[in-house]
Chain A
Amino acid sequence: MSTKFTDKDLQIIIGNVLRYGVWLALTVALIGGFILLLSSSEQTIDFQNFTIKDNNLFEVFNAIIAGVKQGNGEAIIFLGIIFLFLTPALRLVLSLISFFLEKDRLYVFITLIVIGIIVLSVSFGFSH
């Protein structure tokens, strides 16, 4: 690799992040699915009525981590889904770093706006 960071390097890194991110997420979700089915495949389900929740993101994360430690199938699936969500988020951070290395200040700024909107949406989701 040359000393100067180029768009081509970024393309290869981001391509790999997206691919391995999806595989990791799927594997974790599949493991969680097996555990869930082994423990409660005969349980009846009912998703006909939606109950709106008002948990903030950190409460949800804590519940997932606690569940994973106990080997709870649903929590492990949820962990896989979180990995899936983190894949494009990591892509954003990588773009930010590469625009920074290319000294492209305009696009560092644009990327920061996008990240800012996503961070804001965390607080919009909080219970009011």
Chain B
Amino acid sequence: MPIIEEQIFISLVVLILNNYFYGSFQKTKVKMTLLTFTLILFLGAFLAGFIGSLSGLGGGIIIIPLLSVFLGVDMHYAIGTALVAVIATSSGSASAYVREGITNMRLGMFLEIATTAGAVIGALISTNAPTSALAIIFGATLIFSSVNSLRKKEDYLIKPENSSILTHKLKLASTYPTPSGEMVHYGMTNIVGGFSMMGLAGMMSGLLGIGSGAFKVIAMDTIMKVPFKVSTTTSNFMMGVTAIASSVIYIQKGYIEPSICMPVIIGVLIGAMVGAKVLVKANTKKLKVFFALLIFVLAINMIYNGIVGKI
């Protein structure tokens, strides 16, 4: 096993063990100083950004179990913090793709009608839902996303002239550059189906504070048959605007706690950057399976805690 994978493995085992001990501590209400809390969070967020970027699941989705299961932070604060982390990582990476001209900005803008409307509904449900219900829904979403990250995805290329009528009406057919500088012309299909799926993606994002990349990719790749390169970058591009629709509600309801958010956004961003570098060198196939399993364990843990009412 290469050194990097070994190190990741060891740190994860430590985390899982820690989780079980911590679980029993939770009832006795551990008191931590702000400094300790900040340092633990920074390291945890670094790891979350790192795993998120290697597994392709995104940092936000791993921040939530970290805060709620390991550190005993209430789900609502965890959700608010994850949303802030999502905006930071998505804006950071979107800037590069937009400049290269891979992102389809018209497609993004059109689908944002669905995601922002969904996000508002999701955030309103979230503010009224009991914490344990949120934990169970989150666990289920986590399982879905991790299974989905392992699924082999087919890359489609629909010629602009074969696109659906709505594609032309909405001027969605476009081009993207290949690394060699060639322009690939593409179109898409089933706009209505993709739009509806995006509404669901937005709702999950507003409900749980995640980027819901898995749902967005299904909407664009599987339903609308957008080329893979365009769908991943456009999905990333949309996250920021989708997130502000729900964050406005979160801010007013007190979900955003500055002292939790500060170490998390910095840790997640650095972790994601390091993860992107490692991604080039490491054996992604093995790592992906490993992280999917790990996330599966986390998800079961959250569902269990939700059911017994410990979260």
Instruction: Tell me if chain B binds chain A.
Output: yes
Task: Report chain B residues within 8 Å CB of A85.
Answer: 87, 243-244, 247
Task: Report chain B residues within 8 Å CB of A78.
Answer: 256, 258
B: number of interface residues (CB 8 Å): 68
Task: Report chain B residues within 8 Å CB of A12.
Answer: 99
Task: Report chain A residues within 8 Å CB of B96.
Answer: 15, 19
- On whether the beta carbons of A88 and B91 are closer than 8 Å, the reply is yes
B135 at the interface (CB under 8 A from A): no
Contact A40-B34, Cβ < 8 Å, known A60-B252, A85-B87: yes
- On whether the beta carbons of A26 and B266 are closer than 8 Å, the reply is yes
With both beta carbons as reference points, the residue of chain A lying nearest to B249 in the complex is identified as A125
A: number of interface residues (CB 8 Å): 69
A81 at the interface (CB under 8 A from B): yes
- On whether the beta carbons of A15 and B99 are closer than 8 Å, the reply is yes
CA distance A57 to B252 in the complex (A): 6
CA distance A117 to B109 in the complex (A): 13
Task: Report chain A residues within 8 Å CB of B216.
Answer: none
CA distance A57 to B248 in the complex (A): 7
Flag A108-128 by CB within 8 Å of B: 1 or 0 each.
001101100110111011100
B32 at the interface (CB under 8 A from A): yes
B269 at the interface (CB under 8 A from A): yes
Give the secondary structure class of B's interface: helix
Question: Which residues of B, 109-134, contact A by the 8 Å Cβ criterion?
Answer: 109-110, 112-113, 116-117, 119-120, 123-124, 127, 131
With both beta carbons as reference points, the residue of chain A lying nearest to B110 in the complex is identified as A110
Task: Report chain A residues within 8 Å CB of B37.
Answer: 45
Contact for A77 among B91, B95, B112, B261, CB less than 8 A: B261
Question: Which residues of A, 22-49, contact B by the 8 Å Cβ criterion?
Answer: 22, 25-26, 29-30, 32-33, 36-37, 40-49
Which 7 residue pairs across A and B have the least CB separation, nearest first?
A88-B240, A53-B254, A15-B99, A125-B252, A77-B258, A18-B95, A41-B35
User: What residues make up the interface of B, taking CB atoms closer than 8 Å to A?
Assistant: 26, 29, 31-35, 37-38, 71-77, 84, 87-88, 91-92, 94-96, 98-99, 101, 103, 105-106, 109-110, 112-113, 116-117, 119-120, 123-124, 127, 131, 170-171, 240-241, 243-249, 251-254, 256-263, 265-266, 269
- Add 17 more A-B contacts to A15-B95, A77-B259 (CB < 8 A): A7-B105, A8-B101, A19-B92, A25-B265, A44-B32, A45-B33, A47-B72, A47-B73, A47-B260, A51-B254, A74-B258, A80-B262, A88-B243, A95-B105, A117-B117, A121-B246, A126-B252
Task: List 24 interface pairs A-B (beta carbons < 8 Å), by A numbering.
Answer: A18-B94, A19-B91, A25-B88, A36-B259, A47-B77, A48-B74, A50-B254, A52-B76, A53-B253, A55-B252, A56-B252, A57-B251, A74-B258, A81-B261, A81-B265, A84-B84, A84-B91, A88-B240, A88-B243, A89-B241, A107-B171, A110-B113, A111-B109, A114-B116
